Structure 1
Amino acid sequence: MSESIRDRLSDVRREFHRYPEPAWCEFHTTHRLVEELREIGVDELAVGTEAYDSDDRMAVPEDDEIEQWYERALERGADPDLLDTMAGGNTGVVAALDKGSGPTVGLRVDIDALFIEESTADDHAPAAEGFRSEGDGTMHACGHDTHMTWGLAVLEAIEESDFEGELVVFFQPAEEVSGGGHPMAESRFADDLDYLFAVHVGLDHPTGKVVAGIERPLAMCHVDVTFEGTSAHAGKAPEEGDNAMQALGTAIQNAYAIPRHSEGMTRVNLGRAEAGTASNVIAERAHVAAEARGETTELKEYMKSRLTRTLESAAEMHGCDVDIDVVSESPRADSDAELAEIVADAAHDTHGVNSVVPAADFGASEDATFLMERVQEGGGLATYLIVGTDHPTSHHTPTFDVDERSLGIGVEVLRKSILAVAADDP
């Protein structure tokens, strides 16, 4: 048997960091996870469509992008037979340990990276110490390399423990685009979960601090919008055109004028736009990537409907057609206080933890809420905990990094929490 994962946490995390892959393209990542899981010796290993229904995926990229990452994984030495099971971007893996009668406990960790070019600065540890991203334009800038390491190490620790029950670990693709939580939640592996732990590193909480359960994550939706107009010569016959760029501009201006709601926080943003071909051509096409969020799922639906109406009105005003595609979305789900209390007790008993917060507002969005909601609707308990880390700059920046002291802390908090729910389960 190879060296224990818990004895090489830093090495495992750094390897994942070197080879980041974006949503639904995590081919090499899944390959390495499977290699480690086979070494641990789990009782069930489900990859891609063995783990979920492909039709339940959201925010799936174009085939040519998926193929590029597939070929890159092949070049890096990924198992061709295993890659075949992930064809079409069906990445990710679910691993299960069956250790007798007892509760079924789930742990969800995410595996995808971001389209960010990692810093080459001398004071950026991954660059200075030789584990900077080797995927041009992609980076583990949100700590998912740490999350995967935790998932593997916790599985190993529980396999070697006296835990009684079943542990299911979801190595979920496509969190950054809110595309992978839904298929995991709809899968057979989520059918009978009594408890679910989801976890994140950092989020502006320092090393040694643990938040036992988040509250008020924002429900959200990502929307891709295309305006179709009519091109014309901008000097000779502008009246013959229907200007998609004008429709886009009207939509941007009016989206930010959508009334906020008295029942809670609401958000809207149009974050990326492009239109037109030349200065003397009336733009016949424009595209914008937008999002809407709400403090509750209902408030998200309010913002989504108002945003849709705004986009349609802008298109009509300028004689254009508009295609609105909700590419992904996620609900709100709060942590259960009862399960968060178990996490807090485990954290208090973990070396390196010096501050434990029972609950904290999240303020952002997460598609782990699909799994949380599924478990809670079935009568189970769920919590989303945060293991703090000192990170020199914010998440989603080129110089993001983690304090590797947090690796061992996260493993122990999760291990002790899982053992505690099994011991307390009637």
Structure 2
Amino acid sequence: MTEPIRDRLVSLRRSFHRHPEPAWREFLTTTRLVEEIRAIGVDELAVGPDAYDPADRMAVTDDDLEPWIERARERGADEDLLERMTGGNTGAVAVLDRGEGPSIGLRVDIDGLFIEESTDEEHDPADEGFRSKIDGTMHACGHDAHMTWGLAVLEAIAESDISGRLVVFFQPAEETGGGGCPMAKSEFADDLDYLLAIHVGLDHPTGEVVAGIEKPLAMCHVDATITGTSAHAGKAPNEGANAMHAMGAAIVNAYGIPRHSDGMTRVNIGKAEAGTASNVIAEEAHMAAEARGETTELMEYMERRLERTMKSAAKMHGCRAEVDVVSKSPRADSDPELQALVSEVAGGVEGVEHVLPAADFGASEDATFLMERVQNDGGLATYMIVGTDHPTSHHTPTFDVDEASLQHGVDVLVGTIRKLERRHPVPRVESGGDGERVESKATVEHGESGPLGESGVLGETGTRAEDDG
């Protein structure tokens, strides 16, 4: 019989850490998750295209799937599962149905990053033997911990006497913003009363919990190809249409897109390449860019301006541009009702010393698709953070987590799910509320980051009622 997950949180997290797989290539990861889920025993398990419509995926890649499939096969991945994941349809959804009661969703992400993990002996995964076994790929954002939480919570609830329904989304392709949309559009997101999402660290230390993020940035990833005409750079430069020159103009002009008076916006050209040789007018240029906004509307403003800027720069230099929005995610804020409930639970968890009811996020996350879906259907959602002492920032070669936080995350999630069962339906927060103070051994801070707005909902412009923009 499989050893209970609660007794092997560290070893399970480390096993995921050794085998990181990037977006839409999580073949071995999904297989391992399915093995654990089957050992737990659930009422429904959907894998890949049974968990979502593949047509709803974003940032899909089909260029290099086969090496990842073969690698998973060499490590014993089930052939039937690999067949089911054909085309990169990875990820899974597990359902426990325990009769009358609330329907609760839990979302955890499963993909790794294209980062070469450090071999420094001061880097614990290298020193203790669980460094990534895949060159150039790493769990540098804590998704190995997230998967461990998802499985441990599923096991704990399966063994409990809970009444209601728990749906755990093991979501692929978070790092590219590609997996949240199909999960949110799937039948498994229907009729959820509550949605919990979670992240480890994010500059919050071990022993600290944030009950719900606010102000995540809406985001879009944009790929652009500029096509011109090649020519000899010495003999006949006038016969060419210089795609590299057009790309340079596009980059400069993109950073000159006017900011918006309604709120904060961001734009970045993160990758640019063009040309073949010093004596050839470049025929083709490629850019990978992103735009963000404090609201979904502001992101869409930046998206439109960025596309226009790229196309205009290409036209100015006699070229043409194809601009493709490969993925995007909306803004969705945590609900104050769940922030208050999670704060109360976290305040009673052993090892949690400090609880923040809310904190500004300042980055982007495609869990907002699921949050928005649940909120639009009348439910409540929150995106919580369980702190961990990480030696360097997320997305760096020496990122790691303090494994003491693994138990904290399990206890906060299980406690929240059980309290939702008992309190369902959770009372709505009255206008002007400042959140519920927790009386426990943990310190709970309240202040400007508590429940927002007169009604706690987004206004017509997509901003909170008291936000400046």
Q: What TM-score, normalized by structure 1, do the two folds share? A: 0.99
Deviations 1:34-79 (A, max 9, x none): 0000000011000000000000000011x23112211111111101
Deviations 1:141-199 (A, max 9, x none): 00000000000000001111121100000000000000000000000000110000000
Q: Which amino acid aligns with 2:380?
A: L
The 1-side partners of 2:66 and 2:225 are apart by 25
Which protein, 1 or 2, shows the higher relative CO under an 8 Å CA cutoff with sep ≥ 6? 1
| Structure 1 match to 2:275 | 276
Q: Which amino acid aligns with 1:30?
A: T
Q: Which amino acid aligns with 2:180?
A: G
| Structure 2 match to 1:134 | 133
Residue aligned with 2:63, SS: helix
The 1-side partners of 2:163 and 2:149 are apart by 20
| Structure 1 match to 2:166 | 167
Deviation at 1:262, TM superposition (A): 1.2
What is the number of equivalent residue pairs in this alignment?
Answer: 425
Q: Does 1:2 align with 2:2?
A: yes
The 2-side partners of 1:136 and 1:84 are apart by 25
Q: Which amino acid aligns with 2:201?
A: G
| Structure 2 match to 1:206 | 205
The 2-side partners of 1:76 and 1:137 are apart by 18
| Structure 1 match to 2:74 | 75
Q: Which amino acid aligns with 1:88?
A: G
More helix by share: 1
Aligned residue runs from structure 1 range 8-19, under 5 A: 8-19=8-19
The 1-side partners of 2:254 and 2:267 are apart by 7
Deviations 1:253-296 (A, max 9, x none): 01001111111110000000100000000000000000000000
Aligned residue runs from structure 1 range 178-327, under 5 A: 178-327=177-326
| Structure 2 match to 1:56 | 56
| Structure 2 match to 1:121 | 120
| Structure 2 match to 1:43 | 43
Deviation at 1:99, TM superposition (A): 1.1
Residue aligned with 1:341, SS: helix
| Runs of 4+ deviating beyond 4 Å | none
The 2-side partners of 1:159 and 1:349 are apart by 22
| Structure 1 match to 2:88 | 89
The 1-side partners of 2:115 and 2:402 are apart by 20
The 2-side partners of 1:378 and 1:64 are apart by 37
Q: Which amino acid aligns with 2:56?
A: D
Q: Which amino acid aligns with 1:177?
A: T
| Structure 1 match to 2:29 | 29
The 2-side partners of 1:66 and 1:314 are apart by 34
Residue aligned with 2:64, SS: helix
Deviations 1:363-409 (A, max 9, x none): 00000000000000000000000000000000000000000000000
The 1-side partners of 2:111 and 2:332 are apart by 22
**CA RMSD across the alignment:** 0.5
Q: Which amino acid aligns with 1:412?
A: D
Q: Which amino acid aligns with 1:118?
A: E
| Structure 2 match to 1:177 | 176
| Structure 2 match to 1:376 | 375
Q: Which amino acid aligns with 1:159?
A: A
The 2-side partners of 1:103 and 1:388 are apart by 28
The 2-side partners of 1:326 and 1:203 are apart by 27
| Structure 2 match to 1:417 | 416
The 1-side partners of 2:334 and 2:274 are apart by 42
The 2-side partners of 1:302 and 1:109 are apart by 30
The 2-side partners of 1:50 and 1:341 are apart by 35
> Is there any run of 5+ residues in structure 2 with no aligned partner, and where?
426-469
